[in-house]
């Protein structure tokens, strides 16, 4: 089963900024792009081994929306979670729905221990 968890209002996220959210016990980074698209990734940086991705700089590489890890600057595609500097690495993506100005992130069930 999957369900949507309301995180915050869209206005609570800076355009081209990120916030950290707790989604069913999981730590998730939620980003808002310049075009007001909202994406969610696992907040855990697999390179730096720390919970930091929401605090990275949001920008673009080519026509992809990306975030750069604040620890060592590896860049992740916001849509796919793929690391563009090392394509063998990917962080999990969480589906997002923005409804009535409120950001909802889909929680994966049964993933918690």
Partner 1 sequence: MSPHLRKRLVVVGHGMVGHRFVQAAVERGLSETYDIVVLGAESRAAYDRVALTSFFEVGADALSLLPSGDYEDPRVTLRLGTNVAELDVASRTVSLDDGETIGYDELVLATGSAPFVPPVPGHDLEGAFVYRTIEDLEAIRDAAARASTGVVIGGGLLGLEAANALRQLGLDTHVVEMNPRLMSAQVDEAGGRILGRHVEKLGLTIHTGVATERIEGEEHVTGITFAGGETVPLDVVVFSAGVRPRDQLARQAGLAVAERGGVAVDDQLRTSDPHVWAIGECAAHQGRMYGLVAPGYTMAEIAVDALLEGAGTFTGADMSTKLKLLGVDVASFGDAHGTTEGSIDLVFSDAVAGVYKKLVISDDGRHLLGGVLVGDASAYGTLRAMVSSRIELPKNPEELILPASSGAPGVTLPAEAVVCSCNTVTKDDIEGAVEGGCESAACVTTCTTAGSTCGSCKPQVKKIVEDYFASQGKVVDRSLCEHFAMTRAELFDVVLVHGYRTFDEIVEAHGRGRGCDVCRPVVASVLASQLNGHVLAPDRRVLQDTNDAFLANIQRNGTYSVVPRIPGGEITPEKLIVIGEVARDFGLYTKITGGQRIDLFGARTEQLPAIWKRLVDAGFESGHAYGKALRTVKSCVGSSWCRFGVQDSVAMAIALELRYRGLRSPHKLKGGVSGCARECAEARGKDFGVIATEKGWNLYVGGNGGAVPAHAQLLAGDLDDNELVRMIDRFLMYYIRTADRLQRTSTWIDSLEGGLDRVREVVVDDALGLGTELEEAMARHVDTYVDEWKATIEDPEKLRRFVSFVNAPDTPDPNISFGSTRDQIVPEASTGPVSLGPVSLGTSIPVGRP
Q: How far is the CB of 87 from partner 1 (least distance, A)?
A: 18
Q: How many residues line the site for partner 1 (CB under 8 A)?
A: 47
- C-alpha distances (whole Å) from 57 to each of 15, 60, 65, 105 are 11, 10, 11, 21
Strand partners, 3: 107
| By the rule CB under 8 A, 85 interacts with partner 1 | no
Please, which residues have CB within 8 angstroms of residue 31's CB and are 6 or more apart in sequence? Answer: 13, 17, 18, 38, 39, 40, 41, 54, 58, 65, 67, 78
* Distance, CA of 55 to CA of 68 (rounded, Å): 9
| By the rule CB under 8 A, 7 interacts with partner 1 | yes
Nearer to partner 1, 8 or 80 (CB): 8
Cβ-contact 15, 34 below 8 angstroms: yes
Out of 3, 15, 36, 95, the only residue in the binding site for partner 1 (CB under 8 A) is 15
| By the rule CB under 8 A, 44 interacts with partner 1 | yes
| By the rule CB under 8 A, 88 interacts with partner 1 | no
Nearer to partner 1, 21 or 83 (CB): 21
Residue ranges that bind partner 1, judged by CB under 8 A: 5-8, 12-17, 19-22, 25-27, 30, 33-34, 42-44, 48-52, 55-63, 65-66, 68, 70-71, 73, 75, 111-113
């Amino acid at each position: 089963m999957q369900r949507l968890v309301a995180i915050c209002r869209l206005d609570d996220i800076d355009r081209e900024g990120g916030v950290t959210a707790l989604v069913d016990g999981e730590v998730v980074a939620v980003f808002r792009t310049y075009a007001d698209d909202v994406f969610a990734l696992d907040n855990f940086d697999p390179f730096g081994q720390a919970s930091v991705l929401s605090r990275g700089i949001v920008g673009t590489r080519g026509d992809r929306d990306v975030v750069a890890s604040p620890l060592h600057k590896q860049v992740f595609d916001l849509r796919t979670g793929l690391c563009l500097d090392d394509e063998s690495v990917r962080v999990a993506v969480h589906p997002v729905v923005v409804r009535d100005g409120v950001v909802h992130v889909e929680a994966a069930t049964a993933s918690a221990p």
